[in-house]
Structure 1
């Protein structure tokens, strides 16, 4: 699997969320940005387990993705974040990212991986990024695919 392409595809899938009126569009990047325009989703660190099946036929990656929301109003910011972390709905990152799994029998992320799954949310807290404060959380996305490509 080509890591850079997968990172970009996860960010592209996340960008399809629809936030409530007046919030603006979620900006998304496949890498940790120098600065963010909130709300912002990005693919950050990852772990990779090689050789989950013989002959490099399967690798497993877990991407730590972050979503950051402006702190303009504590409660409003957390409501926006909660909507993106929900398991369903138009603002759900889980729903948007898992839509990139494709139809049954198709490869995920436009053919870049065998499958993906948004496994969990963690680290719901205040984040500092380039000196600015945000409320945010991490989403862990598991991706499996051919290790020989």
Structure 2
């Protein structure tokens, strides 16, 4: 698996999120941005476990991604974040990202991985990024795929 390609594919999948009226469209990047155009989703750190199957047959990567929302109105920002962290619905990042799993029998992320799964939301708090403060959270995304690719 190629982490840089997978990061971009996850960001592409997250762009399918539909936010409520009053919020700008979600911007998404596969990398940690220098500055944020909120609301913003990005793929940050990752951990990679090699050789989960013999012969470089399977690697597993757990990506830590973040979503940040401007705090122009604290309650509104937190409600918007709650919608993106929901398990389903038009604003659900989990639903949007997992839609990139493909149909049964297809590879995930347009053929870049065997499968992916958004496993957890965590770290719901205030984040400082490039000198500004946002309300945000992290999403953990587990991706499995061919180790030799």
Same fold flag (TM > 0.5): yes
Deviations 1:87-115 (A, max 9, x none): 00000000000000000000000000000
Match of residue 148 from structure 1: 148
Distance, in Å, in 2 between the alignment partners of 1:12 and 1:25 is: 13
Secondary structure at the residue paired with 2:10? helix
CA RMSD, 1 decimal: 0.4
Alignment of structure 1 residues 1-149 onto 2, 5 Å = 1-149=1-149
Number of residue equivalences: 149
Deviations 1:53-85 (A, max 9, x none): 000000000000000000111111000000000
Structure 2 residues without counterparts, runs of 5 or longer: none
- Please list every run of at least 4 consecutive aligned residues from structure 1 whose deviation after the TM superposition is greater than 3 angstroms: none
Q: Give the TM-score of the pair, scaled to structure 2.
A: 0.99
Structure 1 residues without counterparts, runs of 5 or longer: none
